[in-house]
Amino acid sequence: MDNGAGSYRRFREDGDAEGMAELVREYRDGLILYLDTFVRDIPAAEELAEDVFVLLAVKKPVYKAKSSFKTWLYAIGRNTALDHLRKARRRGEIPLENCGELHADGETLEESFIREERRIAVHRAMRSLPADQRQIIWLMYFEKLTASDAARIMKRSPHAAETLAYRARKALKQKLTEEGFEYEDL
C-alpha cells in the first residue's frame, strides 16, 4: 500500500539506486505542489523537493513506520521548507508570500498531477489563502490524507487540524464563489 517504504528500504539498506528512482517517480510531483504551498514558487519548490530526496540519500534517516511513508516524507519536506524560509528571511530576500502567480511549470504540474479541471480551479484559488490553510487543503483534499496524518505533518493536534481544515474550506468556498464557481465537494 505504501510502496515508498519498500523502495526507500532498498535504497537505504542495499544502495539500490532504482529505489530512489521509484521514490522520485511516486512522490516528487505531489511533494513539489505541497512545498509550493509554503513558498508559492514552483521552481523553488522543485529545488526544495530535490533537497528532501538528497537528505534521504545522504543522511539516510530511519523510517520507523509510525505513520505512512508519505506522511513521514512530507513532514521532512515541511521542515526543509521552513528552514528555507528562515534562511531567505535572514538574507533579507523579498517574502515569497508576495509571489502569487503560478509559474508555467506549475501549470504543467497541475495538469499532470491534479488532472481534473475543476480541482485545478480549486488549486489555483487556494493560492490566495494563508499558508497554513493552503497546506491543510493540499494535504487533506488533494493528497487525501486523514486529519490525523495532516496534523502529524503540520505538527498540530488532530483537533487543531480539523478546525484549520474547516476554516480553510470555508475561505476557499468563499473565494470560489466570488470567482463564479460552485464546488460542492469542499
Partner 1 sequence: MKTYEETTRSILERAETEKAQLRKKNRVIRTVAAFASVAIIAAASVFGIRAFMKSAPHYTTDYKAEYKDSFKVSWAEAPGTIDECIERAQIVAEIKILGLATVYTPVLDTSDRGELKFLPESIYVGEIVKEFKNETKQDEYVYILRFGSPEASATGSHVLMPGERMVMFLKQTDYDRPVDEYPIYYNSFSCPFQELYIYEYDGKEYAVPYTMQNFMPRNMATVSADIASEINSISGLYRWYDDVYEYDAVKSYITDAVNK
Question: Residue numbers of the site for partner 1 (CB under 8 A)?
Answer: 17, 20-21, 24-25, 28, 42, 46, 50, 53-55, 57-59, 61-62, 64, 66, 72, 75-76, 78-80, 82-83, 85-86, 95, 105, 108-109, 155-160, 163
CB of 20 to partner 1, least distance (A): 6
CB of 182 to partner 1, least distance (A): 30
* Location of C-alpha cell 505533518: 153
CB of 89 to partner 1, least distance (A): 8
CA of 129: how far to CAs of 5, 25, 29, 71, 158, in Å? 32, 29, 21, 22, 21
Report the alpha-carbon distance of residue 27 to residue 33 in Å, rounded.
Answer: 10
Nearer to partner 1, 72 or 142 (CB): 72
CB of 45 to partner 1, least distance (A): 10
CA of 57: how far to CAs of 22, 52, 105, in Å? 13, 9, 25
Report the alpha-carbon distance of residue 21 to residue 26 in Å, rounded.
Answer: 9
CB of 153 to partner 1, least distance (A): 9
Nearer to partner 1, 110 or 143 (CB): 110
CA of 36: how far to CAs of 1, 177, 179, in Å? 26, 24, 22
Closest CA to 154 of 122, 118, 130: 130
Nearer to partner 1, 158 or 183 (CB): 158
Nearer to partner 1, 53 or 138 (CB): 53
Report the alpha-carbon distance of residue 8 to residue 168 in Å, rounded.
Answer: 33
* Location of C-alpha cell 523579498: 94
Nearer to partner 1, 56 or 176 (CB): 56
Nearer to partner 1, 83 or 93 (CB): 83
CB of 97 to partner 1, least distance (A): 8
